Structure 1
Amino acid sequence: MSENASDGLLVSERETEDGLLVAVCDADILGETFTEGDLSLSVTEDFYGGDVADAERVAASLAKCDTANLVGETAVSIALEQGFVDEANVLDIDGTRHAQLVWM
């Protein structure tokens, strides 16, 4: 991970039997776990660790994915601004925003 990762985003792309899965997180929350009530979200290196990216790269990945998981204020904001997710479908878990995207 580059020295600037704490200022940006991480994006990971992997092929699954259901198509391209994209995981995006704000770099500064990698390794954190957020819990609220029965919900728990772990931002693990295994799942969310990836390449340092800017908003343009994230939008390009979301445009070609079949499924996406996004966590963090910046990651979710990009998906909202680009029209990939709707605000009504964004969760707030312990102060952190989370959204999922599935193209059907």
Structure 2
Amino acid sequence: MLLRERETPEGLLVSVCDSDCIGETYTDGGVSLDVTEDFYGGDEAETVDEDTVVESLTRATVANIVGEESVSVAIDAGLVDEAAVLEVGGTLHAQLLWLR
């Protein structure tokens, strides 16, 4: 999984995706999900394990999560409700927002 963290004026923005999702565009009807290198990858992104993803998502203010493995990690850790996960063009997508 690829993990990228950015500090913003609103807090920590975390993006996580399955490595094979980078560069893909998923569509379903009028919904389109672009998994761009600029947002999910780049020099700041790291290849990480499940524990690192969970730790980062726990610290995030907001997170975008794409791919079956990445979303499953968030669900299994109790950070994302499975009922709130979207399936877009054959992949999974979830967003996480902590109100602190």
Normalised by the length of structure 2, the TM-score is: 0.94
- The correspondence for 1:39, drawn from 26, 31, 40, is 31
Unmatched 5+ stretches in structure 1: 1-8
Name the amino acid aligned to 1:54: D
Unmatched 5+ stretches in structure 2: none
After superposition, give the CA deviation of every residue in 1:29-71 in whole Å (9 maximum; x if it has no partner). 1000001111100000110011101101101100101000000
**Residue 78 of structure 2: aligned partner:** 83
| Matched positions, count | 96
Q: C-alpha separation between the residues in 2 aligned to 1:65 and 1:29?
A: 21
Q: Does the alignment pair 1:60 with 2:55? A: yes
**Residue 8 of structure 2: aligned partner:** 16
CA RMSD of aligned residues (A): 0.5
Q: C-alpha separation between the residues in 1 aligned to 2:21 and 2:12?
A: 23
Q: C-alpha separation between the residues in 2 aligned to 1:97 and 1:33?
A: 12
Q: Which runs of 4+ in 1 moved over 6 A?
A: none
After superposition, give the CA deviation of every residue in 1:54-92 in whole Å (9 maximum; x if it has no partner). 101101100101000000000000000001100110000
